Structure 1
Amino acid sequence: MIGVQPPDYDPAGTEHATTLPVAGPETVRDYVRSLLRRHRGAFAVLIAVNATAVVASMVGPTLLGGLVQDLADGERELRLGRNISLFAVALVVQAFFVRMVRLRGAVLGERMLADLREDFLVRSVGLPPGVLERAGTGDLLARINTDVDRLSTAMREALPQMSIAVVWAGLLLGGLVVTAPPLALAIVVALPVLLGVCVWYFRRAPAGYRSEAAGYAAVAAALAETVDAGRTIEAHRLEERRIALSDQRVAEWTSWERYTLWLRSILIPAINFYHASLLAGVLLIGGWFVLEDWLTVGQLTTGALLTQLMVEPVGMILRWMDELQVARVSLARLVGVREIEEDAGDGSLAPGGRELLAERVRFGYLPDVDVLHDVSLDVAPGTRLALVGPSGAGKSTLGRLLAGIYGPRTGSVTLGGTRLSEMTAERVRERVALVNQEHHVFVGPLRDNLLLARTDASDAELWAALGAVDADDWVRGLPEGLDTEVGSGALSVTPARAQQIALARLVLADPHTLVLDEATSLLDPRAARHLERSLGRVLDGRTVIAIAHRLHTAHDADVIAVVEDGRITELGSHHELVASGGAYAALWRSWHG
Structure 2
Amino acid sequence: MSRLLPVASAAQARRYARDLIRRYPALFRATIFLHVAAAVAGLAGPRLLGDLVQGVHDGVPMSSLDRLALTIAGFVLIQAVLIRFAHLASARLGERVLARLREEFVTRVLALPLSRVEAAGSGDLLTRATRDVDALSKCVRFAVPETLIAVITLCLVVGALMLVSPVFAVPLLIGVPIMTAGTRWYLRHAPAGYLRQNAAYSDVTEGLTETVESARTVEALGRQRQRIDRTDIDLRRSWRAERFTLHLRTVWWPVIEISYVMPMVLTLLAGGWLYLHDRVTLGALTAAVIYVQQLVDPLDRLVGWLDELEVGAAALARLLGVTADPVPATDEVSRPRDDRIEVRDVRFAYEPGREVLHGIDLVLEPGERLAVVGVSGAGKSTLGRLLAGVHRPTSGDVTVGGVPLADLPPDRLRAEVALVTQEHHVFIGTLRDNLAMVRPNAQEGEIRAALTAVQALAWVDALPDGLDTLVGTGGYLLSPAQAQQVALARLVIADPHTLVLDEATAMLDPRAARDLERSLAAVVSGRTVVAIAHRLFSAHDADRVAVMADGRIVELGSHDELVAAGGAYARLWNSWQGGATKKARPEGAPFP
Give the TM-score of the pair, scaled to structure 1. 0.87
Which residue in the other structure is 1:537 paired with? 522
Q: Which amino acid aligns with 2:123?
A: G
Q: For the Cα contact (< 8 Å) 1:346–1:422, is it kept in 2?
A: no
Matched, 1:95 2:103: no
Q: For the Cα contact (< 8 Å) 2:112–2:323, is it kept in 1?
A: no
Which residue in the other structure is 1:115 paired with? 100
Q: For the Cα contact (< 8 Å) 2:49–2:72, is it kept in 1?
A: no
Matched, 1:381 2:369: no
Structure 1 stretch 460-469 or stretch 332-341: which is displaced more?
A: 332-341
Q: Over residues 64-102 of structure 1, what are the superposed CA-to-partner deviations in whole Å (9 max), with x where a residue is unaligned?
A: 212333444565668221111111111111111121122
SS in 2 for 1:161: helix
Q: For the Cα contact (< 8 Å) 2:178–2:259, is it kept in 1?
A: yes
Q: Which amino acid aligns with 2:84?
A: R
User: Would the alpha carbon gap of residues 417 and 551 (structure 1) be closer, same or farther in structure 2, given more than 3 Å must change?
Assistant: same
- Please give the residue correspondences for 1:495-514 in structure 2 after superposition, counting only pairs within 5 Å: 495-514=480-499
Shift of 1:269: 2.7
SS in 2 for 1:374: strand
Whole-angstrom distance in 1 between the partners of 2:360 and 2:534: 20
Which residue in the other structure is 2:565 paired with? 580
Shift of 1:570: 1.5
Which residue in the other structure is 2:590 paired with? none
Structure 1 stretch 518-527 or stretch 348-357: which is displaced more?
A: 348-357
Q: Over residues 22-50 of structure 1, what are the superposed CA-to-partner deviations in whole Å (9 max), with x where a residue is unaligned?
A: 22212211211112112332222122112
How many positions carry a matched residue from both structures?
A: 568
Gaps of 5+ in 2: 579-592
Whole-angstrom distance in 2 between the partners of 1:252 and 1:395: 45
Q: Over residues 463-520 of structure 1, what are the superposed CA-to-partner deviations in whole Å (9 max), with x where a residue is unaligned?
A: 1111111111111222222222222211111111111111111111111111111110
Which residue in the other structure is 1:392 paired with? 377
Which residue in the other structure is 1:302 paired with? 287
Which residue in the other structure is 2:462 paired with? 477
Whole-angstrom distance in 1 between the partners of 2:531 and 2:133: 40
Structure 1 stretch 511-520 or stretch 290-299: which is displaced more?
A: 290-299
Q: Over residues 161-201 of structure 1, what are the superposed CA-to-partner deviations in whole Å (9 max), with x where a residue is unaligned?
A: 11111111111110000002101111001111111122333
Question: In structure 2, which of residues 485, 491, 500 is the aligned counterpart of residue 515 of structure 1?
Answer: 500
Q: Which amino acid aligns with 1:520?
A: T
User: Would the alpha carbon gap of residues 258 and 117 (structure 1) be closer, same or farther in structure 2, given more than 3 Å must change?
Assistant: farther
Which residue in the other structure is 2:4 paired with? 19
Whole-angstrom distance in 1 between the partners of 2:232 and 2:546: 43
Q: For the Cα contact (< 8 Å) 1:190–1:281, is it kept in 2?
A: no
Structure 1 stretch 534-543 or stretch 130-139: which is displaced more?
A: 130-139
Whole-angstrom distance in 2 between the partners of 1:542 and 1:244: 61
Matched, 1:39 2:24: yes
Which residue in the other structure is 1:550 paired with? 535
Q: Which amino acid aligns with 1:147?
A: D
SS in 1 for 2:371: strand
Q: Which amino acid aligns with 2:479?
A: T
Matched, 1:160 2:149: no
Whole-angstrom distance in 2 between the partners of 1:150 and 1:261: 22
Which residue in the other structure is 1:8 paired with? none
Whole-angstrom distance in 2 between the partners of 1:132 and 1:248: 37
Identical amino acids, percent of aligned pairs: 48
Q: Which amino acid aligns with 1:589?
A: N
Give the TM-score of the pair, scaled to structure 2. 0.88
Whole-angstrom distance in 2 between the partners of 1:39 and 1:284: 47
Question: In structure 1, which of residues 178, 181, 188 is the aligned counterpart of residue 166 of structure 2?
Answer: 181
Gaps of 5+ in 1: 1-15
Which residue in the other structure is 2:321 paired with? 336
Which residue in the other structure is 2:584 paired with? none
User: Would the alpha carbon gap of residues 554 and 262 (structure 1) be closer, same or farther in structure 2, given more than 3 Å must change?
Assistant: farther
Q: Please tell me the root mean square deviation across aligned C-alpha atoms, in Å.
A: 3.4
Q: For the Cα contact (< 8 Å) 1:278–1:307, is it kept in 2?
A: yes
- Please give the residue correspondences for 1:214-363 in structure 2 after superposition, counting only pairs within 5 Å: 263-343=248-328, 347-363=332-348
Which residue in the other structure is 1:3 paired with? none
Which residue in the other structure is 1:7 paired with? none
Whole-angstrom distance in 2 between the partners of 1:107 and 1:335: 23
Whole-angstrom distance in 2 between the partners of 1:18 and 1:422: 19
Matched, 1:366 2:351: yes
Shift of 1:362: 1.1
Q: Over residues 201-250 of structure 1, what are the superposed CA-to-partner deviations in whole Å (9 max), with x where a residue is unaligned?
A: 3445567678889x69998xx99xx9xxx9xx99xx9x99xx99999999
Question: In structure 2, which of residues 445, 449, 466 is the aligned counterpart of residue 460 of structure 1?
Answer: 445
Shift of 1:577: 2.1
Which residue in the other structure is 1:191 paired with? 176
Whole-angstrom distance in 1 between the partners of 2:556 and 2:244: 58
Shift of 1:158: 0.9
Question: In structure 1, which of residues 431, 446, 457 is the aligned counterpart of residue 431 of structure 2?
Answer: 446
Whole-angstrom distance in 2 between the partners of 1:291 and 1:360: 93
Which residue in the other structure is 2:121 paired with? 136
Which residue in the other structure is 1:52 paired with? 37
Structure 1 stretch 177-186 or stretch 330-339: which is displaced more?
A: 330-339
User: Would the alpha carbon gap of residues 337 and 169 (structure 1) be closer, same or farther in structure 2, given more than 3 Å must change?
Assistant: same
Matched, 1:424 2:417: no
Structure 1 stretch 532-541 or stretch 169-178: which is displaced more?
A: 532-541
Whole-angstrom distance in 1 between the partners of 2:235 and 2:116: 26
Q: For the Cα contact (< 8 Å) 2:112–2:410, is it kept in 1?
A: no
